[in-house]
A and B are shown apart, each in its own frame.
Chain A
Amino acid sequence: MNASLMSLEIWVIALGVVLMLADFGFGLAPERRRFLAYLAIATLGTLLITNLGNYTTGTAFNGSFVEDTLAVFFKRFFLVAAMLVLFMSVEFSDRIAGGITEYYSLIVFALSGMLFAASANDFAMLFVSIELITITFYVLTSFQRGRLISLEAGVKYLILGALSSAFLVFGIALVWGTTGQLNFNKLALVAAQFETNKIFLLGVLFVLVGLGFKIAAFPFQIWAPDVYQGAPTPTTAFLAVGSKAAGFVLLLRVLFTALPDIAKHWADLLIVISGITILYGNLCALPQRNLKRLLGYSSIAHAGYLLLGVAALSVSGQAALLYYLAGYLFTVVAAFLVICVVMRHLDNEDISALAGLHQRSPLLAVTMTLAMVSLAGIPPMAGFFGKFLLLKAVIQQGAINHNHGYYCLAFTALVGVVISLYYYFGVIRAIYWSPNTPDLSPIPLSGPVKFSVCVCIAGMFWIGLFPSVVFNLATEAAKALSL
């Protein structure tokens, strides 16, 4: 047993428990509770530096827990995401009627689930970590129980999440039942024998359905817009970044560590799903006016782009996916931060609320613009190089396999990008040249918000302009998959 590998998770869980108990123990005044969040952020930051700055790879618990470059990549990702989301939650705290400290601690617990997911190396861990994330998110989504749509979003996420869990569980049952293996590495050794076993394939399919739900891939994307819209903004951000990334890390492990042979046979399925997801997300976003819902659709589209890296079935594709996720993290969090601040007193979150933002708060206006530009995949922001890598991977695979499907997929992605420009620029247009701007009062920004916004901007630029570091990390991580 090599439990020391898990020190990060233990620390994070401890942090969650401390956060939960702190409020009971000290009975903090409401305005002081944000210090708990800052404490959490500081702890996570310290963990990011100390624990992940110098990590050791290895496996623990009979191989069910694995600490490799991929896990580390994702753990860093989740920590950064959680820190930014915590900043956002502090900003959001006045809109959460009850139990803000619980909100922080739930974020930390969700984070712990994601960390486990990053290291999960068998189906049991996969199941429990995914359930930990999902159940936490049920609560986080419906946290604003004074608002109907928050509850409604919670219920929708609950029912559909449970439905997908049922598929996942049934799938795991079938996969395990046919192969007798839960561990991914052991499964990889025997999976080739079961290539024609339909029950096994059915099980794999059901597992993929469960994971597809997490990443909001077509045809399991249907929940995303409603939940994104209804959930409290920090939850939405965490959902868009963390939960999606957790889905992807598990998807990568299942497809490329456990079932590499099956994945090869399902290239066409992945291509089709990726393409349709891109198109669906972008097309539906076109007429959308609600900003959070718009980002919901856009996150579907981005799941599609990310799936390009899965469909490419190559290390460069997976590396591109990881790289893209890294850029996506800062971009999406930046966008939600702006929404969180700007939409403070608005319930409908309509795009028109951004009108005149460039006068009300130039920093936020620039942030939102850069986020949209990055989402649209325009240089020099992170999204550009990410899409560049994804497309490269897809075309590369097309060239190697002589599979024209890959070229079609590249074209679909291209069409999607062009469509997406329309609504992303619509947002920018609303910021800079709305005809009527009713409210021109300046928006006060707290220091932490400014800080986190600047971090996001720096992240977007850094990843876009100096891709080497992240790209090398991503490549290393992707290589871990097929070891």
Chain B
Amino acid sequence: MKLELLPWLILFLPLLAAGGITLFTLRYRTVSALLSIGAIVTGFVLSLVFINANGWQPSSAESIANWLTIGGLHVDFGLKLDALSLMMLLIVTGVGGAIHIYSFGYMHADRSFSRFFAFMSLFTFSMLGIVLANNFIELFIFWELVGVSSYLLIGFWFEKPSAGDAAKKAFIVNRLGDFGFLLGILMVWGLLGSLNFTVLQNKLTADPAVLGGMATVAALLLFCGAVGKSAQFPLHVWLPDAMEGPTPVSALIHAATMVAAGVYMLCRILFLLNADALHVIAWIGGFTALLAALIAVQQNDIKRILAYSTLSQLGYMVMSVGLAGPTPAMFHLTTHAFFKALLFLGAGSVIHAMHDEQDIWKMGRLQKKMPVTFWTFLIGTLALSGVPPFSGFYSKDSILGQALSQGNYALFILGAAVAGLTAFYMFRLFYVAFLGKPKTQAAEHVHESPAVMAWPLRVLAVFAVIGGVIGVSQTYASQFSPGEARESFGQSLVEPLTHSPAGVLVGLAFIAAGFFAARALYRDAASDPLPEKLGGLATAMKHKFYFDELYEATFIRAHDFIAAVMDWIDRWLVEGLCIGLVRGGTDLSGRALRLVQTGNLQTYAFLFVLGVAVVMYFVLGK
């Protein structure tokens, strides 16, 4: 049973790669890249081997080493192996591996090539850690590591001020979420005395009321972590700015890692979330989905559109979790990983070809010159829009179905409307960037990307097509609702229709509406016609509903103001007044006291006698 070692190997291979690159191979670009790619691809292969050998629910569910024990605080470093984590393992290593390979081509000209791969491997390691963590502290450790890896990667081109700022913003906003997360962890530990998921689950199963009145608070605090990491409203602002990193990084962040972590974590700790908390979570998710979709409609940067679409899709997933549907959520997370990675890499390919031009209004008519990119991007668009039979259709529909089955019609309608909006902005992007007339000189002279970039696109495109019907959903279901019958391939192909035909129909109607609207508006447009039609709303959408400005004016301003006040107090009251008073007072009293040393003998004699008089008065005078 040497296979027990495999999860550890899968987890630590990327770390070894990162460490090795940093310490030894910074100068050898290709070696570095191969180390990094090798680590993740090996991880993928080993994951497959492991799953093949042990199935989705290995008999030994945890593999543990004690990391820290202090009295009642017991922290393990353990791996949790179940369908949820193993599937995520595959996604992270698989999709991540494709992105790694793609990066080899994309980043080839960069001077810090080795450093890039070191960071990528670190990022992969951190994400794998989140996936495999079996307790809260371990999860939090990797949670933080993901944060810092994203910080490093977003700020990869640190000489660009905007990149530095974006990295900083991502880090701090994530930290805001982590603040709540850690508080939640503390609260759960305080109430239940353990950090291990299995132990916690057993306790809660044994006594569901053990959390008492704090249940909702604790659940929502934990959710804060997901809000930060998965960029849910109101902490969604960092994700679009994270575009400042190289495009493969965006692909990694948006598709397989980081943002997925929040949803994954919610599914992992689902047993801790009570009904009230879930309700809040569902609405936050739904609202984020709608908000992001609206903003995406008016963005012109190709990566930003994709970024907001990610936000929107993450909203779906969170909403699904909130609707007590972890299976649809994870299902959508998986398919989304495929097509969003595809889309980002495709966008990267375009940007690469366009010499770092990201404005869609400067592209156009790319299908001839970049066929692979064009077709794969189209597949990604269709999948994201939820067009059957692409993978996105199945996953999105399962979420809408979940809403219906929970009887939450408001969220159902909201979800369907967002699906329509998704179709609208994606086809807007597609029409403007890939079809129509070339809008600039650069767009006329593009070339297809090299094979090392094209092949990951092709592979991902295949999964974007078939991702919905290869049993992903069933695998998750085996985790969250064990005992359900496994479906055959044919059943899963038509599963949405059999399960909730109404949902499918409404959803498809919205999607069609979105597509035709986009087609009507943007098929031949040279500039965006929408702002004139929508007026102020379009401006608001373009400016992301002014969230950045709002935070700038409140949170950041408040902190800077408090900091200024504190600094003033420190400088003038503590340092200046208190210390100054003591210092000045001492000095002054010294100067005053020695004034009696007039040098005049008579004064001295007088003071002498005065001293005697005073002493006499106190000793004998009473």
Q: What is the interface of chain A, defined by CB distance below 8 A to chain B?
A: 155-156, 159-160, 163-164, 167, 198, 201-202, 205-206, 209, 213, 218-220, 222-223, 225-226, 266, 269, 273, 280, 282-288, 297, 419
Q: What is the interface of chain B, defined by CB distance below 8 A to chain A?
A: 586-587, 589-591, 593-594, 596-597, 599, 601, 604-605, 607-612, 614-616, 618-620
Given contacts A222-B607, A223-B604, A285-B590, contact A209 B597 (CB under 8 A): no
The residues of A that contact B590 with a CB separation of less than 8 Å are 282-287, 419
Given contacts A167-B612, A219-B608, contact A266 B619 (CB under 8 A): yes
Q: Is there an interface contact between B620 and A155, defined as CB atoms closer than 8 Å? A: no
Q: Is there an interface contact between B587 and A286, defined as CB atoms closer than 8 Å? A: yes
Given contacts A226-B597, A283-B590, A287-B587, contact A159 B615 (CB under 8 A): no
Contact of B619 among A164, A222, A269, A288 (CB under 8 A): A269
Closest A residue, CB atoms, query B592: A283
Closest A residue, CB atoms, query B599: A226
Closest B residue, CB atoms, query A201: B620
Q: Sort A-B residue pairs by CB-CB distance and give the 5 closest, nearest first.
A: A219-B611, A286-B590, A283-B590, A284-B594, A222-B604
Contact of B610 among A156, A202, A219, A419 (CB under 8 A): A219
Question: How many interface contacts (CB-CB < 8 Å) are there between A and B?
Answer: 76
Contact of B594 among A167, A202, A206, A287 (CB under 8 A): A287
Q: Is there an interface contact between A220 and B586, defined as CB atoms closer than 8 Å? A: no
Q: Is there an interface contact between A209 and B612, defined as CB atoms closer than 8 Å? A: yes
> What is the distance, in angstroms, from B163's C-beta to the closest C-beta of chain A?
45
> What is the distance, in angstroms, from A293's C-beta to the closest C-beta of chain B?
9
Q: Is there an interface contact between B586 and A269, defined as CB atoms closer than 8 Å? A: no
Q: Is there an interface contact between A160 and B612, defined as CB atoms closer than 8 Å? A: no
16 sample A-B contacts, Cβ–Cβ < 8 Å, listed by A number: A160-B601, A160-B605, A198-B620, A205-B615, A219-B614, A220-B608, A226-B599, A282-B590, A283-B586, A283-B590, A283-B593, A286-B590, A286-B591, A287-B587, A297-B594, A419-B586
The residues of A that contact B591 with a CB separation of less than 8 Å are 286-287
Residue of A164, A206, A209, A222 ringed by the most chain B CB atoms within 10 A: A222
Q: Is there an interface contact between B607 and A219, defined as CB atoms closer than 8 Å? A: yes
The residues of B that contact A205 with a CB separation of less than 8 Å are 615-616, 619-620
A419 vs B591: C-alpha distance when bound (angstroms): 13
The residues of A that contact B609 with a CB separation of less than 8 Å are 163
A155 vs B601: C-alpha distance when bound (angstroms): 9
> What is the distance, in angstroms, from A250's C-beta to the closest C-beta of chain B?
18
Which secondary structure dominates where chain B touches chain A?
A: helix
> What is the distance, in angstroms, from B130's C-beta to the closest C-beta of chain A?
53
Contact of A156 among B589, B594, B604, B612 (CB under 8 A): B604
> What is the distance, in angstroms, from A288's C-beta to the closest C-beta of chain B?
8
The residues of B that contact A282 with a CB separation of less than 8 Å are 590
> What is the distance, in angstroms, from A456's C-beta to the closest C-beta of chain B?
29
The residues of B that contact A285 with a CB separation of less than 8 Å are 590
> What is the distance, in angstroms, from A257's C-beta to the closest C-beta of chain B?
21
The residues of A that contact B614 with a CB separation of less than 8 Å are 219
Closest A residue, CB atoms, query B609: A163
A283 vs B619: C-alpha distance when bound (angstroms): 26
Closest B residue, CB atoms, query A269: B619
The residues of B that contact A226 with a CB separation of less than 8 Å are 597, 599, 604
Q: Is there an interface contact between B589 and A283, defined as CB atoms closer than 8 Å? A: yes
> What is the distance, in angstroms, from A223's C-beta to the closest C-beta of chain B?
6
A269 vs B622: C-alpha distance when bound (angstroms): 14
The residues of A that contact B586 with a CB separation of less than 8 Å are 283, 286, 419
Q: Is there an interface contact between B619 and A201, defined as CB atoms closer than 8 Å? A: yes
The residues of B that contact A156 with a CB separation of less than 8 Å are 601, 604
A269 vs B614: C-alpha distance when bound (angstroms): 11
Closest B residue, CB atoms, query A266: B619
Closest B residue, CB atoms, query A419: B586
A283 vs B615: C-alpha distance when bound (angstroms): 21
The residues of B that contact A223 with a CB separation of less than 8 Å are 604
Residue of A213, A282, A283 ringed by the most chain B CB atoms within 10 A: A283
> What is the distance, in angstroms, from B23's C-beta to the closest C-beta of chain A?
43
> What is the distance, in angstroms, from B230's C-beta to the closest C-beta of chain A?
56
> What is the distance, in angstroms, from A44's C-beta to the closest C-beta of chain B?
34
A284 vs B612: C-alpha distance when bound (angstroms): 21
A220 vs B614: C-alpha distance when bound (angstroms): 12
Given contacts A220-B611, A222-B597, A286-B587, contact A159 B605 (CB under 8 A): yes
Q: Is there an interface contact between A202 and B615, defined as CB atoms closer than 8 Å? A: no
A288 vs B590: C-alpha distance when bound (angstroms): 9
Q: Is there an interface contact between A160 and B604, defined as CB atoms closer than 8 Å? A: yes
Q: Is there an interface contact between A269 and B607, defined as CB atoms closer than 8 Å? A: no
> What is the distance, in angstroms, from B487's C-beta to the closest C-beta of chain A?
82
The residues of B that contact A159 with a CB separation of less than 8 Å are 601, 605
